[in-house]
Structure 1
Amino acid sequence: MEPHFDLTIRHARIVTDDTIVEGDVGIRGGRIAAIGPDLPPGARDIDAAGRWVLPGGIDSHCHVEQLSGMGVMGADDFYSATVSAAFGGTTTIIPFAAQHRGTAVPDIVRDYAERARAKAVIDYGFHLILANPDDRTMTRDLPEAIRGGISSLKVYMTYDSMRLDDYQLLDVLDLAREHGALVMVHAENNDIIKWLAKRLIERGHTAPKFHAVAHDPLAEAEATNRAITLSRLVDTPILIVHVAGGSTVEVIRSAQNLGARVLAESCPQYLFLTAEDLDRAGLEGAKYCCSPPPRDAGSQDAVWQGFMDGTLMTYSSDHAPYRFDETGKLPKGDQTTFKEMANGVPGLELRMPLLFSEGVLKGRIDIHQFVKLTASNHADLYGLAPGKGRISIGADADLAIWNPDRETRITYENLHDQVGYTPYEGRVIKGWPEIVVSRGRVIVEDGQLHAARGSGQYLPRQAPRFAWPLRRPGDSRHQAGPFAKALAGAKDD
């Protein structure tokens, strides 16, 4: 007799949206076929008694096999990055096909797709980083990329080699509204950072800790407010990425309360690191340099609160894998100043275990919030639902079986990226995804990888599915501006 399922996971605590089901998951043909008690056997059964069965994570902000604006290639390619992600319970990533000045969107997308196709072991989609919004890009290449399934793009308000001015940002926002794309914004005031950095270096303040001084929290808060203002002008949703400062959380919360269509994410480094980590002996602090930088304990609390009350809707790694040597963090060796250090920290593998340990098990968030922050909200925002992000009938069988009692002391030697260090070295956490399933394939078990290079699949994505407004206190409601109303054919009030 043929088995009813390819794989049956038994006796688990299964999180499906806002409910917990005690029972089994039946998988057939790479998809979830049944959820309930006492399901028929599969070709293989896994006993998950005492374990959580959660959706495989979606990391919608990570940098993989990408050349930075400073011309530095990250340490992880699509193989090492996706292996690392899988061991941490993540089954889908959305990294960036990065346009630089003078490069054409079709060329960089084609090159990036070839790299991913040959190496990825889990499923993946692409965002587009837009740095050259010239006529060809805006009239032909970008609309074609959006129609082809790259339904989100990232823009920078800082970095001289990447940033767009306000006029260009308005052009991009207008185009995104017309074509149904989501715009992700790195919001920092470029001139504030340049002005501070120049004066710090002139005074001999070159150590890593001065990176945090140059990237003052006001630079992030001001740019965030400006980005929201621009998005409101043309009535285009935006997502503020890697929110670090408490003042920025408040700017976003206030805008949401007024009905602005603004979303936001934050990352492990803003929950578990502070600016004090940059103030280590010698150049050790460079390991903790990212933009925006980690702030103080008050900002950590504000970011936690933002996750708890829904102001921040996704939790991503912003994995930026630069080695601690001349190929990455220290291009001029021990003479490298904070302004020359590659910006970014690794975090793909530890993203979910850190939040499970310090969020769920310490009572800051519940298991349903954990699933939303690490999987289902990503699927909704980035056009991957209903196939990804939830345990539901018909969805892809992307699952992680978590042992909530397993204690782990974090050491780089036990991780799977190619960076050479982890900023969370020595931290003890509780809870770990011991078995990981991607489209019905058991790809991680007993500390071993069981997935072939290139076995991940590319995911073309649809427009976001989130309903607006996200927050509506009292009678507040979103109001489109006169320009947006005119475009929609509406009359002025």
Structure 2
Amino acid sequence: MSSTRTLIRGGLVVTAAEETHADVLVEDGRIAALAAHGSTVAEGWTADRTIDAAGRYVVPGGVDAHTHMEMPFGGTFASDTFETGTRAAAWGGTTTIVDFAVQTKGRSLHAGLDAWYAKADGKCAVDYAFHMILSDVTERSLKEMDRLVEEGITSFKLFMAYPGVFYSDDGQILRAMQRSADNGGLIMMHAENGIAIDVLVEQALAAGHTDPRYHGEVRKVLLEAEATHRAIQLARVAGAPLYVVHVSADEAAAEIAAARAKGLPVFGETCPQYLFLSTDDLAEPDFQGAKYVCSTPLRPREHQEALWRGLRTDDLQVVSTDHCPFCFVGQKELGRDDFSKIPNGLPGVEHRMDLLHQAVLDGHISRRRWIEIACAAPARMFGLYPKKGTIAPGADADVVIYDPTVEQTLSAATHHMNVDYSAYEGRRITGQVETVLSRGEVVIDRREYVGRAGHGQYVPRGTCQYLR
């Protein structure tokens, strides 16, 4: 293939480490060099294509480390395929997703992984990697974990929730953690006390409480905090690192902060829905609240400040979406008479970068922290840095030209996710992705999609870089 050079001129380059007015030279899919705008070096560069980024930010492509494309749940499937979901990701300035391959009970990890390779192969608009969901912790699957780490699947998700589906008991969790302590893998934990929640679900339904808002009421804050505490103690016993996914509540965030204050290798992720939405949405009348059913659930608004504080103090390191969309018509409606049958999950892969930019304008986080929690930290956490998550010589040329001044209104009428509603319908925000490069190839060109299914490549990962 002939060498191609792209020059991005005149923008403010923002990474987690610094902000600098620089021109960026891209060659053969990688960042070749940066030089001060107007400098002799930059002025001497020539390219096949020049992108004018004056008045724009030039930021790394986002890394969304928690998505569920085509995820089976409750007799249906997430409505975004790898093709539609990664295209929507590109529209939102995310150039790498880490999705979850699922082990079926009684089957091997590799059988699950192969099924996900097949779903994604040749379909993705941007690059992708996989975590592995352990549904069945046995001697066989524990041995397989070692092989997977060697193959670049270096993180494993366990569930303290969903008895009979994904649930693992404390003994299984401890065994998996002990294995990860030896093989360098990272255990990701869905921390909710599923056994207790099932009792509360049964009692709520028996009392005639069937509306979506009860989904949040039975999945209590204390049961998230208790499970988070328990997961941390089990990780301590195993001598293993721990990453707690979709932290939604003040008390759970406090458990992680306390562990980190002891110097323990405990990490936390939250999601835009917990930062911007609340139980007010879940309580919308006429079953509209079903649109906001996800687990962990949305919390009362007062929990938001604790999550923002955790992101500022680095007690929470990553913002991912947990993108798992189900259409309102025909999918969310499965639970019209029983909140426990509403498929759990929200669409969000397209809006994460924009919502977090709005958080910069609102004073919650700094511009560099925006890039840290959306790009650099997830790349480091999951062994992708500095190939992904930064703009530096040698990195993949995953680059977003971002206009910080454009106002937009989020809506199902204009988003590109394959779902019939927006969790942020009518929300006005400032800032918008203008142009996106994935490994040097333009996939969004001044708000026009020019990418293609199959451009995205599978990326094997190293181990967590915070532990090296």
TM-score range for the pair, normalised by the shorter chain length = over 0.9
- 1:142 paired with 2:141, answer no
**Could you say which residue in structure 1 is the equivalent of 2:7?**
8
Structure 2 Cα separation of the partners of residues 20 and 446 of structure 1: 23
**Could you say which residue in structure 2 is the equivalent of 1:48?**
53
**Could you say which residue in structure 2 is the equivalent of 1:471?**
none
Structure 1 Cα separation of the partners of residues 278 and 15 of structure 2: 34
Structure 1 Cα separation of the partners of residues 262 and 98 of structure 2: 30
| Contact 1:16/1:392 (8 A) holds in 2 | no
**Could you say which residue in structure 1 is the equivalent of 2:390?**
390
Instruction: Give the TM-score of the pair, scaled to structure 1.
Output: 0.91
Structure 1 Cα separation of the partners of residues 218 and 452 of structure 2: 44
**Could you say which residue in structure 2 is the equivalent of 1:330?**
333
| Contact 1:188/1:224 (8 A) holds in 2 | yes
- 1:401 paired with 2:401, answer yes
| Contact 1:317/1:347 (8 A) holds in 2 | yes
Tell me the CA shift for residue 296 of structure 1.
1.2
| Contact 2:29/2:396 (8 A) holds in 1 | yes
Instruction: Give the TM-score of the pair, scaled to structure 2.
Output: 0.96
Q: How does 1:17-416 map to 2 (within 5 A)?
A: 17-37=16-36, 38=38, 39=42, 40-68=45-73, 70-139=74-143, 141-160=144-163, 161-326=165-330, 328-331=331-334, 334-335=336-337, 337-357=338-358, 359-416=359-416
| Equivalent pairs, count | 460
* Amino acid aligned to 2:9: R
Structure 1 Cα separation of the partners of residues 32 and 212 of structure 2: 52
Structure 2 Cα separation of the partners of residues 111 and 194 of structure 1: 30
Residue by residue over 1:132-182, the C-alpha shift from the partner in whole angstroms, topping out at 9 and shown as x without a partner, is 11222122x222222111001110001011110000000000111111101
| Contact 2:329/2:420 (8 A) holds in 1 | no
Which runs of 4 or more aligned residues in structure 1 lie more than 6 Å from their structure 2 counterparts after TM superposition? Answer: none
Structure 1 Cα separation of the partners of residues 248 and 383 of structure 2: 25
Structure 1 window deviating more from structure 2 (446-455 vs 84-93): it is 446-455
| Contact 1:32/1:394 (8 A) holds in 2 | yes
Structure 2 Cα separation of the partners of residues 253 and 71 of structure 1: 37
| Contact 2:192/2:224 (8 A) holds in 1 | yes
Tell me the CA shift for residue 4 of structure 1.
9.5
Tell me the CA shift for residue 351 of structure 1.
0.9
Structure 1 unaligned residues grouped into runs of 5+: 469-493
* Amino acid aligned to 2:246: H
**Could you say which residue in structure 1 is the equivalent of 2:426?**
426
Structure 2 Cα separation of the partners of residues 83 and 19 of structure 1: 29
Structure 1 Cα separation of the partners of residues 15 and 204 of structure 2: 51
**Could you say which residue in structure 2 is the equivalent of 1:482?**
none
* Amino acid aligned to 2:47: G
* Amino acid aligned to 2:233: T
Tell me the CA shift for residue 5 of structure 1.
6.2
Structure 1 Cα separation of the partners of residues 59 and 214 of structure 2: 41
Structure 2 unaligned residues grouped into runs of 5+: none
Q: How does 1:459-478 map to 2 (within 5 A)?
A: 459-467=459-467
Residue by residue over 1:93-114, the C-alpha shift from the partner in whole angstroms, topping out at 9 and shown as x without a partner, is 0000011212221112112112
Tell me the CA shift for residue 18 of structure 1.
2.0
SS at match of 1:118: coil
Tell me the CA shift for residue 385 of structure 1.
1.2
Tell me the CA shift for residue 325 of structure 1.
2.7
Residue by residue over 1:271-307, the C-alpha shift from the partner in whole angstroms, topping out at 9 and shown as x without a partner, is 1111111111121100001111111121011111111
- 1:442 paired with 2:442, answer yes
* Amino acid aligned to 1:216: K
| Contact 2:61/2:96 (8 A) holds in 1 | yes
Structure 1 Cα separation of the partners of residues 181 and 138 of structure 2: 18
Structure 1 Cα separation of the partners of residues 340 and 450 of structure 2: 41
